[in-house]
Amino acid sequence: MTAQKVLKLSELEQDTAVRVVVDKVPMAVVLDGNGEVHAIGDTCTHGDISLAEGFVEDDTLECWAHGSAFSLRTGEALNLPAYEPVPVYEVTIDGDDILIDPAVTREVK
Q: Is the distance from CB of 99 to CB of 13 less than 8 angstroms?
A: no
78 binds ligand FES (CB under 6 A): no
CB of 78 to ligand FES, least distance (A): 11
Here's the x/- map for ligand FES, 14-53, by CB under 6 A: it reads as ------------------------------x-xx-x----
CB of 33 to ligand FES, least distance (A): 23
Q: Which residues pair with 49 in a beta bridge?
A: none
97-106 and 60-62: which strand pairing?
Answer: unpaired
- Of residues 4, 26, 50, 65, which one binds ligand FES by CB under 6 A? 65
Q: Is the distance from CB of 61 to CB of 54 less than 8 angstroms?
A: yes
Q: Rounded distance, CA 52 to CA 64, Å?
A: 9
